[in-house]
Amino acid sequence: MKVESFGDQAVRVIFGDRIAPSVQFQINQFLILFDRSPFHGFIEYVPAYTNVVFYYNPLDVICGGRKDRSAQRQVMDYLEDLLKRLDINLENEGKRRVIHIPVCYGGEFGPDLNEVAALHHLTCDEVIAKHSSPQYLVYMLGFAPGFPFLGGLPEELATPRRATPRLRIAAGSVGIAGKQTGAYPLDSPGGWQIIGRTPIPLFTPKMNPPTLLAAGDLVKFDPITEREYVQLKEGHS
């Protein structure tokens, strides 16, 4: 673990050099500790696969801290001291939040399901069964508000992105790109292979928090019928 400068208004804390559940767990535990006593001048943090970037207001840091040291040095000292106090409690790893997300696979909701199945010499039902079996780890949110990058996709479902991205992918679409799976929170362009769609909103600006998922959560996709999709969609309208 190390702390380094990330521009003149941000500091990055690096926890590892590879994507792994153990690294994400350390990040999650560090942020829980940080949330108990954020430093004066803190704006926000952005967790990623192997690091977290902390953004701050330099003037507020100086006004609330020491006048003889730079804002960046004070933030770095604070985070380095916090790292020393970090106690990784492995018991908490089994207490991750599990979010069940219903998905209607195939048809108009999953236009690439047949192609993914053919590529891997599987039936559509086999793809659905394999995709909905694991509990996926949310490593981070990015690309769009509430878009979860999920780890744990079965190796036999790893599929390249589409050669030509779509100009519009409907909100709720569940897709595969390489060794990752994820779900689109908003209508947006994208090149992921779309195999299904959820009627559950992933991003609701008026809610607090506005995102359904958070880094560190576990996600379980539950297959549903088109009729169930319509009923759930109406319930969230």
Whose CA is closest to 13, among 66, 84, 111, 62?
84
Q: What is the pTM of this model?
A: 0.83
Average pLDDT over residues 80-84: 93
Q: What DSSP assignment string belongs to 95-125?
A: G--EEEEEEEESGGG-TTHHHHHHHTT--HH
Instruction: Tell me what pLDDT residue 14 has.
Output: 96
HSE (side-chain half, CA atoms, 13 Å) at 174: 29
Instruction: Tell me what pLDDT residue 150 has.
Output: 94
Confidence of residue 34 (pLDDT cuts 50, 70, 90): very high
Instruction: Tell me what pLDDT residue 68 has.
Output: 79
Q: Decide if pLDDT at 27 tops 80.
A: yes
Which string of b and e fits 40-68 if b means at least 16 CB within 10 Å? ebbeebebbbbbbebbbeeeebbeebeee
Distance CA(195)–CA(112), nearest Å, equals: 5
Q: Decide if pLDDT at 146 tops 60.
A: yes
Across the strands, what pairs with 166? 190
Number of helical H runs and strand E runs in the chain: 6, 13
φ/ψ of residue 166, rounded to 5: -85, 150
3-state secondary structure of 128: helix
* Number of neighbours of residue 225 by Cβ within 10 angstroms: 11
Distance CA(144)–CA(112), nearest Å, equals: 21
Confidence of residue 236 (pLDDT cuts 50, 70, 90): confident
Confidence of residue 92 (pLDDT cuts 50, 70, 90): low
Which carries the bigger pLDDT value, residue 143 or residue 27?
Answer: 27
Confidence of residue 95 (pLDDT cuts 50, 70, 90): confident
Whose CA is closest to 132, among 211, 199, 230, 224?
224
- Mean of the per-residue pLDDT values for the chain? 92
* Number of neighbours of residue 189 by Cβ within 10 angstroms: 10
Confidence of residue 156 (pLDDT cuts 50, 70, 90): very high
What token pair was written down for 88? Answer: 């990784």
Average pLDDT over residues 127-133: 98
Confidence of residue 64 (pLDDT cuts 50, 70, 90): confident
Q: Decide if pLDDT at 181 tops 90.
A: yes
